Amino acid sequence: MNVVRAVQALESSSASVRLRAALAVGTAADPRSVDALIERCGVEPDFHVRDMLTWALTRHSSSVTVPKLVDALGSECVQARSQALHTLSKVGDRQAWPAITRALLTDADDEVARSAWRAAVVLVPEGGRAGLAEVLATQLGRGGRETQLSLSRALVALGGAVVPVLRSAMTDPAPRVRQHAMVTERLVRDPDAGFECAVEEAKRIAALGTTARKG
């Protein structure tokens, strides 16, 4: 399959055809296909095809892909923003770091925010870890289990820079924020502790604290 036909096949109604097309485009790594790959990322409904589209983009020079992926971060399409962030995290070029804005890290859509957290911890320069930890800490207590797990993983990946903000969040007036901060702090101390175990420990500590206050 030549590149032109492969790019056209990205529009096929068959997911298996689109998957093979993305593989072919990535294998060829023709820079003329980058725009089509990024555009398809924003609308592709199949997870496996999206993953292959990201792989195809990582096969190209970051000097070509990063500026175009950064442009996609401004899209009104949720999936376009999320997939661009995901791809930037896989490309790993720290020149994209300035584009990981507070607005993306606090995006109203959980999937976009989670993708931004993952990209941020990959791309943040050493000197930016403390500042990133402060922004991420504002999202403690947000969403359901998967969203909270994603945030905890991102914070844990920042290492010691997160400890001061977590300790501060452990005194937050909101119980959800306090518990999530406690869970994350437990994971910072013991990364091998499971998320669920850390949640149960945080609940026990909170319950003991409540009992003590009542006494």
pLDDT digits (tens, 9 = 90+) for 27-73: 999 999 999 999 999 999 999 999 999 999 999 999 999 999 999 99
Asked, for residue 132, whether it belongs to a domain, the answer is yes
Indicate the pLDDT class of residue 210, thresholds 50, 70 and 90: very low
Which structural domain range is residue 198 located in?
124-215
- Average pLDDT estimate for 7-17: 97
Phi, psi (rounded to 5 degrees) for 109: -85, 125
Tell me, yes or no, whether 154 lies in a domain: yes
Percent of all residues in the chain with a pLDDT value above 70, rounded to a whole number: 89
pLDDT digits (tens, 9 = 90+) for 115-171: 999 999 999 998 999 999 999 999 999 999 999 999 999 999 999 889 999 999 999
Residue that the structure tokens 């901060």 belong to: 181
36 in any annotated domain: no
Residue 104 resides in a domain: no
- Within-domain flag for 99: no
Q: Look at residue 202 and tell me whether its pLDDT is greater than 80.
A: no
Residue 101 included in any domain: no
Indicate whether this model's pTM tops 0.95. no
Q: Is residue 43 part of a domain?
A: no
Please report whether residue 208 resides in a domain.
Answer: yes
| Number of structural domains in the chain | 1
